[in-house]
Amino acid sequence: MEHGDAGPGGPRPTDGSRPVVVRVPVEPVEAAVEADAVDAVMRAGGLVVRGPLFGVAAQDSGEGPRWRVVVAVTDGCPQQARDSLNSLLWFRAKDRAEDRAERRALLAAVARLENERVDDLTVAGTRYRVVRAEEYAGTGPGGMEEPRPTDPEPLVPDWDRAVRGPDIDDALVLDPDAPVAPSQAAERLALRGFRYTGDRFPEDVRADSERAVDTHPDILVLPPTFTVVEQTPGGGTPLSGPHVSAHAARKSLDFALTWMWPRMRGLIPEDADMHADARALTDPELTAYVEAADALRAGRVNRLEFQDSVYKIVRTRRMLRWGPDGPDGPRPSDVNSQDPTRIHPPLDEDGRVLPETGNENGAGNENGTGNDNGTGTGS
């Protein structure tokens, strides 16, 4: 994350934007969260921007302006989100389709996603869209914002790697008309004019960013996430994340200290048992790793010094632009790290997995899993 030439610009749009409905927090917990947010604004004087993240939202018939997140907005490129949508629809066809007609429609959508960069499609009564958000963090004299006192934390921290917590954006509903607290309303209004302005951004990126201010003038701020960052003179380098909670980010740093980094640095042999970590071995060179992990587990630690580096748990935010037709999607200048391709084997009309035909690029069949040209022309 770096201090980029990305200008907040103020609430520039004057046409087509929605009014922001503000509710005053009255419950004690809500009031504490609001006071915490106001304090954070006073401490943070600016933003550092990491760049776009992608996910998938769905809208059912009759839902009005509301969409629900079905693939967390955490992917680094649009094609990763398309591939996740591919899997979502394939498993729906395999396990939850009510009849052959619905399964054919779902598999036709899968075939398109195997061959095309599809960002918006309607299938079996549900509209799906790949959505785009900007990831950023507040920054002030002390660096990037750390977790706030009112951010959720477990009463008893669980460090067991086999135990998973909730997922990011689980059951999240995107509703541009939902009332928000005063601090949230202020943040949404302040970010309306956000766009890339610096010369370090390519011209097409700046042009797309400028255009989005007008085509998608409203802002939704998604729930906070948490990232492990190694501090650098110009800001910080994200090492993991995003995570759903500060504790989940700490667990990822604990894993790096006791399992991943010792292996990467040759301190744990490559042929060692997968469950072996620095705590289970007696190599003196691993002592520093264990001591750092112990310090991390001592409490709600958000800053850790280890081997001449400083690691911080940073509170990251995501803003999603919104227009008359709903959430913003990928832009022409967004970079894809891979091409569309087949991810799962073909299914028949009854949801049975078919044997591969030997054509690595895929194969259509007479039961509706392909179009007239087959499903196997993906690049």
pLDDT, tens only, 331-344: 999 999 999 999 99
The pLDDT value given to residue 270: 82
Percentage of the chain modeled with pLDDT above 90: 72
Percentage of the chain modeled with pLDDT above 70: 89
Average pLDDT of the chain, as a whole number: 89
pLDDT at residue 266 greater than cutoff 50: yes
The pLDDT value given to residue 368: 38
Q: How confident is the model at residue 286 (pLDDT cuts 50, 70, 90)?
A: very high
- Phi-psi region for residue 7, left (φ > 0), alpha (ψ -120 to 50) or beta? beta
CA 4/CA 256 separation, integer angstroms: 28
Q: What is the pLDDT of residues 19-29, one digit of tens each?
A: 999 999 989 99
pLDDT at residue 71 greater than cutoff 70: yes
Q: What spatial distance separates the first Cα and last Cα of the chain, rounded to whole Å?
A: 33
The pLDDT value given to residue 377: 33
Q: How far is CA 110 from CA 78, 95, 149, 194, 335, in A?
A: 16, 15, 44, 35, 22
The pLDDT value given to residue 140: 86
pLDDT at residue 160 greater than cutoff 60: yes
The model carries a pTM of 0.87
User: What φ, ψ does residue 31 adopt, rounded to 5°?
Assistant: -65, -40
H-state helical runs in the chain: 28-43, 78-95, 100-115, 182-190, 203-215, 246-255, 261-264, 287-296
The pLDDT value given to residue 358: 57
CB 53 within 8 A of CB 135: yes
